[in-house]
Structure 1
Amino acid sequence: MKLVIIGGLSGGMTVASQFRRLNTTSEIVVYDKNPYVSFANCGLPYYLSREVSERSDLIARTPEQLKNQGIDVHTEHEVISVNDKENYVTVKNLKTGDTFDDPYDKLIVSPGAQANEIEAVKHAPQSFVLQHLHHLDLIEQYITENDVKHAVVIGTGFVGLEVSEQLRKRGLEVTILQHNERVYSTIEEEFSEPIKEEMDKNGIRLELNSEPVKLDGTKLTLNNGEVIDAELIIQAIGITPRTDFLKSSNVVMNDGYIPVDEYGLTNIDNIYAIGDAIETHYQHVPHKKVSVALAWPAHRLAYIIANHLAENDQYKHDGLLSVSILRYFDVAVGKMGLSLKDLEDEDYIIVEQTQNNKAGYMPGAKPLSLKIYVDKNTRKILRASGIGEKGLDKRLDILSTLTRLGGTVDDLINIEVAYAPPFSSPKDIVNMLGYKAIGKL
């Protein structure tokens, strides 16, 4: 069998490695339009401040190392079309401009997503996105060669916040532009307020309801007429699935995203899809669709696809809970479950609790706030979100595990946390949410 994989990283490369362990004879060929295929893209921002001290620490495996595993990797090769009737891909060598066709028996589509950009600054030499290792290299080179002192970050999503934190820790003056009033809009507004406070505390300037309209050298004019310094611009305004090349095929898409089944298969029986460009469903609310651009979902689905390719169908993809967490200076903010928008037509109650992350008499005890949305009929937790300096990850892990295993808020009162005064309270915050929810229901 010949397996062709379009795109590397957490999706494509993990399928390749997992399948090679299960099958030592099949041919595996990977095409990626970028110079690197196996690196920790989630860790890229942390090199900007040298929190990750060595660039080499971000590289998982090189094409040479992968070749030793029997995986034939072609970087800077872009698949420009797929012919699913005759089972071949058309590939463009980005170094030479040459194109060629390559046949496959099975195809993995892992193209990722394209970072959105604003036309007013898109073509400026100091304007960058941060998705890949070579983007990081370009940013590093530009900061060093131009002795950059002031950076503008556009967007307050995951990447925008992480980059602004790391550039500030590096010593740059940072201005953040947000096109509306909502900072980190995937989280509740009351939880975004502490993020704004962290910006103020750490000397980051936040401009709300602001968008760039004109760039003249390093002078950036905003839509309110204000002109600010923009020696470096990092755009972090969301992503679009990179799936235009599939329009030549019969692969079904939904607004550019590729729906997949329990084995990662598309509507074509020998084409799988994985990563940022796929559409799946919420595990606990299966009738609602979701796309999650994070590494864990890709790694999990890669295992399932690799086993299915090896004719082992015992592992199935049962949806996602969309769990995420973000550290921003001294606070962490995170959530699990439905998005705020997906909650709109659900019948639920809201239960909130704020208490210390450990016994209040212990040094270093810090407030932790959690909010859960509970279905009135099934008593399942539809969404959980929260903020705090310490311990948020532990509680979100508990809530997501409980939900994935079919638990309800009634089970929260019986959750046994690892209790001792330095770690939690006799009635942990998750227990208290359970008591409150039972009373309210």
Structure 2
Amino acid sequence: MKLVIIGGLSGGMTVASQFRRLDKESEIIVYDKNPYVSFANCGLPYYLSREVAKREDLIARTPNQLNDQGITVHTEHEVISVNDQENYVTVKNLQTGETFNDYYDKLVVSPGGEARTLDTVKDAKQSFIFQHLHHLDQMDAYISENDVKHAVVIGTGFIGLEVTEQLKKRGLNVTVIQHNDKVYSTLEQHFTEHIKQTFDEQDIHLMLNTTPKSLDGTTLTLDNDETIDAELIVQAIGILPRTQFLESSNIVLDNGFIPIDEYGLTNIDNVYAIGDAVETNYQHVPNKKVSVALAWPAHRLAYVIANHLAEKNNHKHDGLLSVSILRFFDITVGSMGLSLEDLEGEDYIIVEQTQNNKAGYMPDATPLSMRIYVDTHTRKILRASGVGKNGLDKRLDILSTLTRLGGTVDDLIDVEVSYAPPFSSPKDIINMLGYKTIGKLK
């Protein structure tokens, strides 16, 4: 069998590696438009401040190492179309301009996302997006070579906040601009007040309800006519699925995303899809669709696809809970389950609890606030979210595990949290959310 994979990283590269362990004979070829295919994408921001001390620590495997493993990797080769009737891809060598066709028996599509950009600033020499290792290299070199002191970050999503934190820790003055009044819009706004407070504490200028209007050299004029110093500009305004090259194929797209089944298959019986561009369902509310641009879901789906390709088992992908967490200086925010928008149409109650993350008499105890949204009929936890300095990850993990295994809010009072005063309290916030919800549902 000949397996062709479009795109590397957590999706395509993990499929390639896992399939190779299961199948020693099949030919595996990977095409990626970028210079690198196997690196810790999620870790990139942390090299800006040298919290990750060595750049090479971010590289998982080089193309030569992958070739030694029996995986043929072609970097800077972009697949520009797929012919699913005759089973070939058309590839453009970005270094030479040459195009050629390559035939496959099975195809895995892992194209990732395309960064959104603003026409106002996208062509400026000091303007960067932040998706891949070469973007990090370019930005890092630009900061050093130009002795950058003032940076502008556009957007307050996952990447925007992480890059803001790391640029500030590097010693830059940072201004963050957001087109509306919402910071980290995937989270409840009363929780994000803690993020806004952290902006003030870290002396980072946050400008809401404004967008860039024009750029003259390093002077950025906003639509409110204010001007700010923009020696460096980072565009972090989200991504779109990079699936335009599939539009001439018979692979079904849904608003640009690729719907998949429980084996990662598209509507074409020998074409799989994985990564930021796929659309699946919520595990606990399967009638609603979700796309999660994080490494963990890609790694999990890669296991399913590799085993299905190798015909080793019938392990199925049963959807995602969309668990995410973010550190912003000394606070942590995160959520699990339906997005705020996807809650629409559901019949639920909201229960919120704030208490210390451990025994209150411990000197380093800090407040932890959590909210759960509970279906009034099934008593399932539709969504959970929270903010705190320590311990949020542990509680979100408990809630996601409970939910994935079919538990309801009634089970929360029986969850045995590892207790000792430095770690928790006799009635943990998880237990208290259960008690309060049961009382409210009665």
TM range (shorter): over 0.9
Say which SS state the counterpart of residue 305 (structure 2) adopts.
helix
CA distance in 2, matches of 1:313, 1:4: 21
Write the letter of the residue equivalent to 1:284.
H
Partner residue, 1:166: 166
Write the letter of the residue equivalent to 2:103.
P
Write the letter of the residue equivalent to 1:73.
V
- Deviation sequence 1:213-246 (CA, Å, 0-9, x none): 1000000000000011000000000100000110
Partner residue, 1:420: 420
The 5 A counterparts of 1:22-171 are: 22-171=22-171
Say which SS state the counterpart of residue 314 (structure 2) adopts.
coil
Cα drift, residue 353 of structure 1: 0.3
Say which SS state the counterpart of residue 228 (structure 2) adopts.
strand
- Compute the TM-score of the two structures, normalised by the length of structure 1: 1.00
CA distance in 1, matches of 2:64, 2:144: 30
Say which SS state the counterpart of residue 247 (structure 2) adopts.
helix
Write the letter of the residue equivalent to 1:287.
N
Partner residue, 1:409: 409
Partner residue, 2:320: 320
Q: Is residue 244 from structure 1 mapped to residue 282 from structure 2 by the alignment?
A: no
Write the letter of the residue equivalent to 1:158.
F
Partner residue, 1:254: 254
- Deviation sequence 1:52-78 (CA, Å, 0-9, x none): 000000000000000010000000000
- Deviation sequence 1:281-302 (CA, Å, 0-9, x none): 0000000000000000000000
Cα drift, residue 344 of structure 1: 1.4
CA distance in 1, matches of 2:134, 2:238: 19
- Compute the TM-score of the two structures, normalised by the length of structure 2: 0.99
CA distance in 2, matches of 1:252, 1:43: 32
CA distance in 2, matches of 1:184, 1:382: 20
Partner residue, 2:374: 374
Write the letter of the residue equivalent to 2:305.
I
Write the letter of the residue equivalent to 1:325.
I
- Deviation sequence 1:173-195 (CA, Å, 0-9, x none): 00000000000000001111000
Q: Is residue 230 from structure 1 mapped to residue 230 from structure 2 by the alignment?
A: yes
Say which SS state the counterpart of residue 120 (structure 2) adopts.
helix
CA distance in 1, matches of 2:329, 2:297: 26
CA distance in 1, matches of 2:309, 2:141: 42
Partner residue, 1:284: 284
CA distance in 2, matches of 1:347, 1:312: 41
Partner residue, 1:396: 396
Write the letter of the residue equivalent to 2:330.
D
CA distance in 2, matches of 1:314, 1:342: 30
The 5 A counterparts of 1:335-346 are: 335-346=335-346
Write the letter of the residue equivalent to 1:408.
T
Unaligned runs of 5+ in 2: none
Cα RMSD (Å): 0.4
Partner residue, 2:213: 213
CA distance in 2, matches of 1:390, 1:227: 38
CA distance in 2, matches of 1:230, 1:285: 44
Say which SS state the counterpart of residue 332 (structure 2) adopts.
strand
Number of equivalences: 441
CA distance in 1, matches of 2:55, 2:306: 30
Cα drift, residue 145 of structure 1: 1.0
Q: Percent identity?
A: 77
CA distance in 2, matches of 1:334, 1:140: 28
Cα drift, residue 247 of structure 1: 1.1
Cα drift, residue 312 of structure 1: 2.7
Cα drift, residue 314 of structure 1: 2.0
Write the letter of the residue equivalent to 1:334.
G
Write the letter of the residue equivalent to 2:6.
I
**Bigger mean CA deviation after superposition, 312-321 or 290-299:** 312-321
CA distance in 2, matches of 1:216, 1:362: 54
Runs of 4+ in structure 1 off by over 4 angstroms are none
Say which SS state the counterpart of residue 233 (structure 2) adopts.
strand
Cα drift, residue 429 of structure 1: 0.3
CA distance in 2, matches of 1:124, 1:20: 43
CA distance in 2, matches of 1:336, 1:411: 17
Cα drift, residue 311 of structure 1: 1.0
Write the letter of the residue equivalent to 1:414.
D
- Deviation sequence 1:393-429 (CA, Å, 0-9, x none): 0000000000000000000000000000110000000
Cα drift, residue 313 of structure 1: 3.9
Partner residue, 1:198: 198
- Deviation sequence 1:343-381 (CA, Å, 0-9, x none): 111100000000000000011000000000000000000
Partner residue, 1:386: 386
Q: Is residue 431 from structure 1 mapped to residue 438 from structure 2 by the alignment?
A: no
Say which SS state the counterpart of residue 119 (structure 1) adopts.
coil
Write the letter of the residue equivalent to 1:297.
P
CA distance in 2, matches of 1:74, 1:121: 32
Say which SS state the counterpart of residue 382 (structure 2) adopts.
strand
